[in-house]
């Protein structure tokens, strides 16, 4: 028995004697002021020693406060398009015209200058845009040097694929204004929360095996609270579901007969909008291969601080790759995402290193190693997740807001907080809602994951 002194939460009403009711039942899931149970009842966890944060996605999100309430059935956000005009896979016609691939349109205008690369030409060619077609599918470019027309350049053949981007413009004295304008692009994304449920039940005969805790409040109130150790297992499993569903969830497509809508989880979001690397950590992995990934990150948002959640094999490969680096190359890593606290990063099981202009914090992800979760089916070596925040336009607020790249939205209102709620029904513990000789503890959560700027995320498939 423990005798704890604390500020008693309003949801608890201890009894002076050992009487089991719904109002003095000590739920293993503590929210707000009732989150004292793990601190004051260490004997309940004697067989399940926990280190804060099981190095999983959701525990890290809770640590940095990346969980936010929402009131609607969906969350909608907009992301900016790229600032500069660039095109890949455009085709050259014999006349020297460049046709955008797949009959797409372009936003290049007469008078702009482009840098074109392709064919057998070692260096890109600087060209002037002299004309565009009315349907904006083709443009005529003239090289600044090497030939009178683009089609006459050595190394560029008809129907060859080229890449190019706009780097500026040039006009003669007295020329009219630029014709046309470029409207900034943005993309709108949406996700919807899913409702998760679970239930713990215990029959009347088994409730004799309960535990009692004597409490003493700072305001003078005191008495006894009771708990069921077995209910803690159900709570822990449900909390794991809250994490796993955000990672694995998938939106149902039009051909599915599943009957529910689903939600876009982390793996699906990266597969749809992010970077997917395969066999990155095979036995022949080299540091240069990893540097190729850094170059891909350079093409995206180039977020300086990133977190690596890896399975055991991938983590060992990383250790081998980093073993050859000098101490100076590994030193100087900042801990900005952890409020510049090295202790905070280490408590979560992260270790940091710097490569190029990027800081990385890598850790084992138990979800990938556990034989009762992803460790059973495999197929995933790890994830790279950018740290920090990004500015997006929130449709509901009607303004730009700062949001973590990866965060959880849960349904909540003044009347009902559905982040994770529990309630008791039955004919035991003071409840009288059903006639059966049992007590039921119900669990419910309504939540979804928001993956912003997914082009900066990497999924390592094995």
CA 370 vs CA 288, 312, 347, 377: distances in Å:
30, 10, 20, 10
Indicate the pLDDT class of residue 46, thresholds 50, 70 and 90.
very low
Choice between 121 and 91, residue whose per-residue pLDDT is larger: 91
Of residues 453, 4, 372, 57, the one with CA closest to residue 224: 4
Return phi, psi of residue 90, to 5°: -75, 150
Choice between 29 and 357, residue whose per-residue pLDDT is larger: 357
Rounded-to-integer distance, Cα 189 and Cα 197, Å? 27
DSSP H or E segment with residue 318: helix 312-323
**Predicted local distance difference test score (pLDDT) of residue 268:** 95
State the residue for tokens 């007590």. Answer: 439
The string of pLDDT tens digits covering residues 392-434 is 555 555 666 566 788 899 999 888 899 989 888 887 766 677 7
How many distinct helices (H) and strands (E) make up the chain?
10, 24
**Predicted local distance difference test score (pLDDT) of residue 459:** 95
Question: What is the CATH number assigned to the segment(s) 86-183?
Answer: 2.40.30
Rounded-to-integer distance, Cα 44 and Cα 7, Å? 21
Of residues 41, 38, 68, 40, the one with CA closest to residue 53: 38
% of the chain exceeding 90 in pLDDT: 17
Indicate the pLDDT class of residue 270, thresholds 50, 70 and 90.
very high
The pTM of the full predicted model, rounded to 2 decimals, is: 0.71
Q: Where are the domains of the chain?
A: 52-81+187-209+229-462, 86-183
**Predicted local distance difference test score (pLDDT) of residue 346:** 55
Mean pLDDT of 121-135: 84
């Amino acid at each position: 028995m423990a005798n704890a002194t604390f500020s008693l939460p309003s949801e608890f009403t201890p009894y002076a004697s050992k009487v089991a009711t719904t109002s003095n039942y000590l739920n293993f899931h503590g929210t707000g002021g009732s989150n004292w149970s793990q601190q004051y009842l260490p004997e309940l966890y004697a067989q399940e020693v926990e280190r804060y944060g099981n190095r999983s996605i959701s525990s890290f999100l809770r640590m940095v406060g990346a969980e936010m309430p929402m009131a609607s059935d969906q969350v909608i956000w907009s992301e900016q398009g790229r600032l500069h005009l660039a095109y890949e896979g455009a085709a050259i016609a014999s006349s020297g015209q460049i046709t955008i691939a797949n009959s797409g349109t372009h936003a290049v205008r007469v008078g702009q200058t482009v840098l074109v690369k392709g064919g057998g030409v070692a260096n890109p060619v600087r060209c002037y845009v002299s004309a565009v077609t009315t349907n904006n599918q083709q443009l005529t470019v003239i090289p600044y040097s090497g030939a009178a027309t683009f089609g006459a350049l050595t190394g560029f053949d008809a129907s060859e694929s080229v890449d190019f981007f706009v780097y500026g413009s040039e006009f003669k004295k007295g020329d009219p204004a630029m014709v046309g304008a470029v409207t900034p692009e943005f993309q709108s994304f949406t996700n919807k929360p899913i409702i998760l449920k679970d239930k713990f039940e215990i029959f009347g005969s088994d409730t004799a095996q309960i535990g009692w805790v004597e409490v003493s409040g700072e305001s003078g109130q005191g008495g006894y609270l009771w708990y069921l150790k077995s209910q803690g297992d159900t709570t822990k499993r449900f909390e794991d579901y809250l994490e796993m569903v955000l990672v694995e969830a998938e939106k149902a497509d039009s051909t599915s007969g599943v009957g529910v809508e689903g939600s876009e989880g982390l793996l699906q979001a990266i597969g749809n909008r992010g970077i997917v690397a395969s066999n990155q950590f095979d036995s022949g992995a080299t540091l240069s291969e990893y540097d190729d990934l850094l170059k891909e990150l350079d093409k995206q948002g180039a977020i300086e601080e990133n977190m690596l959640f890896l399975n055991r094999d991938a983590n060992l490969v990383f250790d081998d790759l980093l073993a050859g680096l000098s101490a100076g190359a590994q030193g100087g890593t900042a801990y900005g995402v952890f409020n510049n606290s090295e202790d905070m990063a280490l408590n979560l099981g992260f270790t940091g290193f710097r490569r190029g202009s990027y800081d990385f914090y890598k850790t084992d992800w138990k979800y990938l190693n556990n034989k009762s979760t992803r460790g059973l089916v495999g197929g995933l070596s790890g994830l790279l997740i950018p740290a920090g925040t990004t500015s997006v336009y929130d449709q509901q607020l009607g303004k730009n807001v700062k949001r973590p790249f990866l965060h959880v939205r849960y349904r909540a209102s003044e009347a009902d907080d559905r982040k994770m709620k529990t309630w008791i029904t039955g004919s035991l513990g003071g409840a009288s809602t059903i006639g059966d000789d049992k007590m039921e503890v119900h669990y419910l959560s309504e939540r979804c994951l928001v993956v912003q700027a997914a082009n900066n995320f990497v999924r390592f498939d094995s």
